C-alpha cells in the first residue's frame, strides 16, 4: 500500500478524495447528445457523469470486479438511477471490463477538481 501511495505521489496523482459505490455506463444510443458541459457525448471518449463533482474534474475509476482502472473527465450530470454514483462512457466501460455486467462496484479517486 505504501508503494502504491508513493507511486501516486511521484506522478502527481494523489487523490483529493475517494468514493465507493455502483457505476453504470451510457447507452451507445446517447452518442452525440449534449452533456451538461455543452459538449456532445462521445461514446469513444473517456468521460463520465457525476451528480456533485465539478465539470472538468479528473477521476480515476477502478472496477472492483476486474481491478482495472481508467481516468475520466466529468462532463455531465447524473446518473439518474439513485443507487449509482457515476455513469461512465462506453469506452471507459469497455476498458474497465464492465460492459457485460452493465453496472458494478467501483472506487472513485478524485485526482483534480
Q: Mapped to the 3 state alphabet, what secondary structure does the chain carry?
A: CHHHHHHHHHCCCCCCEEEEEEEEECCHHHCCCECCCCCECCCCCCEEECCCCCCCCEEEEEECCCCCEEEEEEEECCCCCCCCCEEECHHHHHHHCCCCCCEEEEEEEEEEC
**What is the per-residue pLDDT across 3-19, written as a single tens digit (0 to 9) for each?**
334 334 444 567 789 99
**CATH numbers and ranges of domains, the chain:** 15-112 (2.40.40.10)
And the C-alpha cell for 73? Answer: 473527465
pTM of the model: 0.86
**What is the per-residue pLDDT across 23-66, written as a single tens digit (0 to 9) for each?**
999 999 999 999 999 999 999 999 999 999 999 999 999 999 99
Amino acid at each position: 500500500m505504501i508503494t502504491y501511495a508513493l507511486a501516486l505521489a511521484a506522478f502527481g496523482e494523489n487523490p483529493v478524495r475517494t468514493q465507493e459505490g455502483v457505476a453504470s455506463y451510457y447507452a451507445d444510443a446517447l452518442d452525440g447528445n449534449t452533456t451538461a458541459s455543452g459538449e456532445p457525448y462521445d461514446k469513444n471518449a473517456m468521460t463520465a457523469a457525476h451528480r456533485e463533482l465539478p465539470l472538468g474534474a479528473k477521476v480515476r475509476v477502478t472496477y472492483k470486479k476486474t481491478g482495472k482502472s481508467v481516468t475520466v473527465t466529468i462532463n455531465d450530470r447524473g446518473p439518474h438511477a439513485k443507487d449509482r454514483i457515476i455513469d461512465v462512457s462506453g469506452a471507459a466501460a469497455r476498458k474497465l471490463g464492465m460492459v457485460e455486467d452493465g453496472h458494478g462496484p467501483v472506487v472513485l479517486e478524485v485526482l483534480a477538481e
